[in-house]
Structure 1
Amino acid sequence: MAVACVLALAFVLLLPRAGAHGDGPGRDGGGSGRGSAAADEHCTAPEQQTLAPSGADGPTISAIKARRGEKRKLVVGVDQNSYRWGYRNPNNARAELEGFDIDLVHRIAQDILGDPDAVQFKAIPTNQRVPAIQEGRVDMVVRTMTITCSRLDEVAFSAPYFRTGQQVLAPRSSAITGYDASLAHQKVCSAAGSTANSRLTEDRGTGRLPASTDISLTVPNQLDCLVRLQLGEADAVVTDGALAASQAAQDPTVTLKGAPFTTEYYGVAMKKDADDLVRRVNQILVQYRASGWQASYDTWLSATLGTDAAASRPPAPTYRRTS
């Protein structure tokens, strides 16, 4: 465990704070389906609350295209520490961002600006995703961000581009068996503002989670929980299973415990009034699901989630939002 801890800490510390495409500052995280936060109790199918696809330009897209020179880029909030999703490969000479989310960003930039590399990446911590959009620091966030009803009050989402669910990550030697009574008297880490954190709070309040479970440990970035686990400061982590699988691939001394206990969908997040951009991204996703999604999955995620992508594919999109 000590060796794994040192390796993970070294990996995190070696990652640059700013990208080759731009620097950025670092509220929320990745639920719907079987598991929903208390704030979502009157909401159903948030992943369907989006606008129908369109390839037409509007004021938001026109403003992006009007940028000149080095500023003529799509500004996107991403992660730079999530292995195989959005991370800087230390073995790459240029340490460029790579991963499943990054592939999607390049596809969006290609469609809107005609250049897949016309992107300014901004590293956004888990708990800063919504503020970054609302304050106009980014045009969108593509960062394993779950579509939820509470977030729909603050930002707009595209149709889903990935399906996952919350799971427990713990040391292989741990007696923890999953999201169950085995978490009694255990310290569980989650990212501040994440759906995992909301679910932990709700379930301990309703009794689904043992009252003795310590859920006080929260961190700004989800990956910080893995380091806390390696340092022995946490007994388990609750996060999206897709992310947890990648973390288990980084550190073979930890593993997923039990099955997913929610169903969640990742979407591209944008400003609430950016209707033309939402429609355009949905149009791009129609094309991407048909050509591009599977190749990206095979490249980045098949090694951690399995070669059969059926469980990760989002459902056929439904567009229930009209304005």
Structure 2
Amino acid sequence: MAVACGATAALTLGPLAHSGAADRAAPAVTGPGIGSGVQVRAEDSCRDPEASLGPSSADGPAVAAIKARGRLVVGVDQSSYRWGYRNPTSRTLEGFDIDLARAIAKDLLGSEDLIVFRTIPTNQRIAALESGKVDLVVRTMTINCKRIRQVAFSTAYFQAGQQVLAPKTSAVTGYDASLDGKRVCTAEGSTAYEALERKSFGAVYKDRGDGGPADEDRLTVPNQLDCLARLQMGEVDAVVTDNALAAGQAAQDPAVELKGRPFTTEYYGVAARLGNDDLVRRVNQVLVQYRQSGAWTRAYEKWLKADLPGIVGPPAPKYRDG
């Protein structure tokens, strides 16, 4: 199998354009690419972590700071094919998440040039927000109860699920007993790693810290694409990751495939620093327009449909009081 290229962090500028948004407008109709809002009480937020703040186009301190700086700084990936990856010909960042980040920037700043992309590994997404290195993270980041205590999420913009990726010739059949004794790679800080912590089916999935075989195989890696490289080199037997990411990896390498069925239901959200409520509301307003205008559907058809067919639209947004 061809070995996937490793990725390094970079800082780039990308073009954007402006579009307006109505204050606190919520989707009123449903259909491909359009969801309907569901109001949820704040006290239910951990039971239903996808519930976010209501949309608004009003400026607040976080939005004002971005406007004063004149740039929106967004943490993204550069190694997830179809989501956030560097085009090898143009060297520009492209993908579904990149398009969404640009839509947010165009609403905030009204210019196609006023966005800075900072590529960050999976295990540094939360730290990048907490340190102020980035304003937002748009990087296939799953919303869950643990993370909503660390960062503030927008409404969900994509539904995914954990699944197993392995060579087509492998005896691994999915997230089941066929993983017993197999070396399984995950990204550090990912929900896949947490799933294996809860139930591993006997898989070897973490570094032992004792210099043994697991340490040599480096089963836990900073970036998900590193798992594909290790699978290609025979250092691990399988990968557990979001099926949305795994589909892109399978598209890169015809010798691997998704095994079994997704064993979780997860939702991606745009992440902001805790307390930046006005920025979260503004992102939610952008997402209202992104769903209703057909921009979500166009991005899906451009980047994801070939590898993830059959998705009729984004998840319906859920809002909590306040």
| TM-score scaled by length of structure 2 | 0.84
Alignment of 1:58-77 (within 5 A): 58-67=60-69, 72-77=70-75
Q: Indicate the residue corresponding to 1:28 in structure 2.
A: none
Higher helix share: 1
Q: Indicate the residue corresponding to 2:10 in structure 1.
A: 18
Give the deviation of 1:91 after TM superposition.
Answer: 2.0
Q: Structure 1 residues 240, 55: CA separation in 2 closer, same or farther (over 3 Å shift)?
A: same
Match of 1:56 among 52, 55, 58: 58
Match of 1:297 among 293, 297, 300: 300
Q: AA paired with 1:185?
A: G
Q: AA paired with 2:50?
A: E
Q: AA paired with 1:319?
A: Y
Deviations for 1:171-228, whole angstroms, at most 9, x for unmatched residues? 0000111001110110100001100000100113xxxx2xx31011100111100001
Question: Matches of 2:233 and 2:259 in 1, distance apart?
Answer: 19
Contact 1:244/1:256 (<8 A) preserved: yes
**SS across alignment from 2:319:** coil
Percent identity of equivalent pairs: 62
Give the deviation of 1:17 after TM superposition.
Answer: 3.8
Question: Matches of 1:315 and 1:89 in 2, distance apart?
Answer: 28
Q: Could you say what the CA RMSD is over the residues aligned between the two structures, in angstroms? A: 1.4
Question: Matches of 1:176 and 1:286 in 2, distance apart?
Answer: 41
Contact 1:228/1:234 (<8 A) preserved: yes
Contact 1:82/1:223 (<8 A) preserved: yes
1:135 aligns with 2:137: no
Question: Matches of 1:45 and 1:147 in 2, distance apart?
Answer: 10
Alignment of 1:78-227 (within 5 A): 78-92=76-90, 95-204=91-200, 209=201, 212-216=202-206, 217-227=219-229
Structure 1 stretches of 5 or more lacking a match? Answer: 23-41
Contact 1:19/1:97 (<8 A) preserved: no
Question: Matches of 2:321 and 2:221 in 1, distance apart?
Answer: 34
Give the deviation of 1:43 after TM superposition.
Answer: 3.6
Alignment of 1:257-276 (within 5 A): 257-276=259-278
Question: Matches of 1:116 and 1:101 in 2, distance apart?
Answer: 16
Question: Matches of 1:16 and 1:160 in 2, distance apart?
Answer: 28
Q: AA paired with 1:18?
A: A
Question: Matches of 2:60 and 2:139 in 1, distance apart?
Answer: 24
Deviations for 1:15-53, whole angstroms, at most 9, x for unmatched residues? 56423329xxxxxxxxxxxxxxxxxxx9422111x1000
Q: AA paired with 1:305?
A: L
Q: AA paired with 1:176?
A: V
Q: AA paired with 1:320?
A: R
Question: Matches of 1:196 and 1:127 in 2, distance apart?
Answer: 12
Number of equivalent positions? 279
Contact 2:156/2:268 (<8 A) preserved: yes
Give the deviation of 1:321 after TM superposition.
Answer: 4.8
Q: Structure 1 residues 321, 62: CA separation in 2 closer, same or farther (over 3 Å shift)?
A: same
Contact 2:9/2:118 (<8 A) preserved: no
Q: Indicate the residue corresponding to 2:320 in structure 1.
A: 320
Give the deviation of 1:314 after TM superposition.
Answer: 3.4
Question: Matches of 2:193 and 2:46 in 1, distance apart?
Answer: 19
Q: Structure 1 residues 16, 213: CA separation in 2 closer, same or farther (over 3 Å shift)?
A: closer
| TM-score scaled by length of structure 1 | 0.84
Contact 2:46/2:145 (<8 A) preserved: yes
Match of 2:285 among 276, 283, 286: 283
Structure 2 stretches of 5 or more lacking a match? Answer: 15-44, 207-218
Question: Matches of 2:116 and 2:46 in 1, distance apart?
Answer: 34
**SS across alignment from 2:85:** strand
Question: Matches of 2:137 and 2:145 in 1, distance apart?
Answer: 17
